[in-house]
Amino acid sequence: MTRFRALVEVSLRPGIADPQGATIERALPALGFEAISGVRAGKAFRFVVDATDEHAARKQVDDLCRRLLTNPVIEDSAVTLEQA
Amino acid sequence: MTARIGVVLFPGSNCEHDVVEAVNALGGDAHIVWHDDRSLGTVDAVVLPGGFAHGDYLRPGALARFSPIMGAVEAFAAGGGPVVGICNGFQVLTEAHLLPGALQKNRGLTFLCTTVEVEVFSDRSVLTSGVEVGSRLRIPINHFEGSYICDQSTLDELRAEGRIILRYVDNPNGSLADIAGIANAAGNVVGLMPHPERAADALFGSTDGRILLGALLRSALAWSAVAAGS
């Protein structure tokens, strides 16, 4: 078994309104961040997973994303794995 | 015959007693069902009440759908039994895939606690059966994640099959197509953001919720009679 560190970033799917991101972006000019745009708010999860190899680890994490960490109707996930 | 209504209590639910009171005032027989049980017992309909089941952690309804009772709720719904999710209960039903779509944060990021006007848009559901289509009801809403969203093909289906049962007259939260409540294809599973149990007594300022809950009690008895005969 190998231990992997997983990072799952959950974001709203393209085209889904993101009122949090929009509100944050509206506040930026007042703070002087004129050059920042395209803000999207999301969530991140970090955990470790034990698996025989990276492929098996990714399979588990993808399944977890689909069944629990995201609502596929409105959210996408991006998974990053690295050996612990 | 008295309609027996099971009201599921999740950790964090907070409208279960309001539903029990409102149902009993209408002549029903409501009781609380604990989320950690695996059986609904003998019921003619199930209500998933409002609140913050499992703290709304991760997403509203995301953890509640894995509560042990949900297996029994899914089986009851699959058998044609009436299931109504109110507010957080609606969110649980979408997460459990018993209803399509999802509830997003309100447009404007404001928690809304007010009485709104909704139009009965279809009577093809256990909650609106026998209720005049086009009638307007004044019912409170109380939510942060109430903006209904689904993909275009789902919306087309909901429209074509008369499954949009309630629409906001003045959309408060950005819901797609002014949707306040929908039903599944069979009409026996319903989710709505407004709280009919909070419009069940003249003291509350509106009794329009009784129209919907009354329809649910009739639907529950009708289903019970059919189920007993089959």
* Whether B127 contacts B219, CB under 8 Å: yes
Q: Which domains does chain A have, with CATH numbers?
A: 2-83 (3.30.1280.10)
Inter-chain contact A16–B94, Cβ cutoff 8 Å?
no
Please name the residues in contact with B138: beta carbons below 8 A apart, sequence gap of 6 or more.
B115, B116, B117, B199, B205, B206, B208
Provide, as residue numbers in chain B, all residues whose Cβ is less than 8 Å from the Cβ of A73: 94, 100-102, 149-151
- pLDDT at site A52: 97
Q: Report residue B27 as tokens.
A: 């002549």
Edge-to-edge strand list for the sheet holding A2-12: A42-51, A2-12, A75-83
- B137 within 8 A of B118, measured Cβ to Cβ: yes
Q: Which tens digit of pLDDT belongs to each residue from B93-103?
A: 999 999 999 99
pLDDT for B66 equals 95
For residue B162, pLDDT beyond 80: yes
Question: Which of B227, B166, B230 minimizes the C-alpha distance to B3?
Answer: B227
Chain A residues closer than 8 Å to B171 by CB? none
Average pLDDT over residues B170-180: 97
Number of domains in chain B: 1
Mean pLDDT of chain B: 97
Distance separating alpha carbons of residues B161 and B178, to the nearest angstrom: 17
d(CA B177, CA B148) in angstroms, rounded, equals 9
Residue of B nearest to A44 (CA): B58
* Token representation of residue B202: 């003249």
d(CA B48, CA B84): 6
Specify the pairing of strand B112-120 against strand B136-143. antiparallel
Range of the domain at B152: 4-229
Average pLDDT over residues B135-142: 98
The CATH number covering residue B92 comes to 3.40.50.880
Catalytic residues of B: 87, 195, 197
Whether pLDDT at B230 is above 70: no
Cα A46 to Cα A40, A71, B60, B211, distances in angstroms: 19, 18, 21, 48
